[in-house]
Structure 1
Amino acid sequence: MTFTLEKLRDSIAGVLKKNYPDVPVYGNPNQQGTKTPCFFVFFMPSDMEREIGRRTRRVIGVDIVYLTRRNDSNTYDQLITVADLLDEVMERVPYTDGVESTELWTSEREWKIDDGELHYQFTVKAIVSSPSNVPPIESMESYAGNIKN
């Protein structure tokens, strides 16, 4: 399985579209002509931690921003309702690279309302491994490395 940020963003967008099919989801903050309500999926500062062997743990911060029409009488209630649903559905994110599928657990989930926008933030910790440049052994009979006759 190949892990990329683009496919992670698409997987998160898939969860949002499943629960809010009529609300557009954007990955680029410079979308022109966006109409509310809408979601934006942003990546926050991330980190990489060494694991055993060729493995690395990618710690990826995610910020889902939900925008709605400002100054409506029920704007705050809408934001709370969306935060409540995101708490329910964002515990695990179904991830696919187009060939294989898995579920990624989220951690450190929290939300806040800032300047009339809902920010639902969490962390995804994915263990990835780099490809090995050591050729696989075809069979023991054909292996002649470091063996002296």
Structure 2
Amino acid sequence: MTNDIRIGINQALDSNFPGINIYGEEIKQGFNEPCFFVKVLSDSLSREFNRRYRKTVFFDIHYFSDKELKVNEDCCAVAERLYSVLDYIHVGSNCLRSNNKRYEIVDGVLHFFLELETHMLKNQGQIPYMETLEKEAKLKNG
């Protein structure tokens, strides 16, 4: 499920920022800027009721600007676009709404943080059938 959400984020970035590379694994030296790096920060699963679970995934989307003189200006402009671009993420036939979006710029790199939450049902597995039960009953006359 986490990888499906990451793919949904990649698709949203790809359709709204054409021509900008998107990395999901380790970035090697010599990458071409501008580019995005989508990183899963953490993932949690909490039980709600019976087979229902809530999955929360936190992401840090890095943006590396190609502007040498106006890096902060470029990062702020991209961050403002990301607020709307990443508001809803399509995952298969579902649409997830992102929460707690915020950004910061550290050493000329934009870090855009967001959280996505989904509900899921876990398979219960095979439930054993009850064995046979024999009961004797006597009728009372009268």
- Decide: shared fold, TM above 0.5: yes
Q: Does the alignment pair 1:50 with 2:23?
A: no
Range that drifts further, 43-52 or 109-118: 43-52
Inter-partner Cα distance in structure 2 for 1:20 and 1:91 = 15
Aligned residues: 134
Q: Scaled by the length of structure 1, what TM-score is found?
A: 0.81
Deviations 1:66-116, CA, capped at 9 Å, x for gaps: 00136x2222211111001001121110111xxxx1101111110111110
Q: Does the alignment pair 1:73 with 2:73?
A: no
Q: Does the alignment pair 1:21 with 2:18?
A: yes
Counterpart pick for 1:87 among 68, 83, 87: 83
Q: Does the alignment pair 1:104 with 2:96?
A: yes
What's the counterpart of residue 35 of structure 1? Answer: 32
Shift, 1:46, TM fit: 2.4
Asked which structure has the greater CA Rg, the reply is: 2
Inter-partner Cα distance in structure 1 for 2:29 and 2:8 = 23
Please tell me the residue identity of whatever aligns with 1:89: V
What's the counterpart of residue 115 of structure 1? Answer: 107
Inter-partner Cα distance in structure 1 for 2:85 and 2:42 = 23
SS of the residue aligned with 1:126?
strand
Ranges of 4+ aligned residues in structure 1 off by more than 3 Å = 30-33, 144-149
Shift, 1:48, TM fit: 1.8
Q: Which ranges in structure 1 are unaligned for 5 or more consecutive residues?
A: 136-143
Q: Which ranges in structure 2 are unaligned for 5 or more consecutive residues?
A: 135-142
Q: Does the alignment pair 1:5 with 2:9?
A: no
Inter-partner Cα distance in structure 1 for 2:94 and 2:37 = 23
SS of the residue aligned with 1:40?
strand
Inter-partner Cα distance in structure 1 for 2:75 and 2:42 = 25
Inter-partner Cα distance in structure 2 for 1:11 and 1:45 = 17
Deviations 1:22-65, CA, capped at 9 Å, x for gaps: 00101012335310000000011222211111121111111110
Deviations 1:118-145, CA, capped at 9 Å, x for gaps: 011011111122112136xxxxxxxx84
Please tell me the residue identity of whatever aligns with 1:78: D
Please tell me the residue identity of whatever aligns with 2:88: R
Percent identical residues: 25
Shift, 1:6, TM fit: 1.6
What's the counterpart of residue 126 of structure 1? Answer: 118
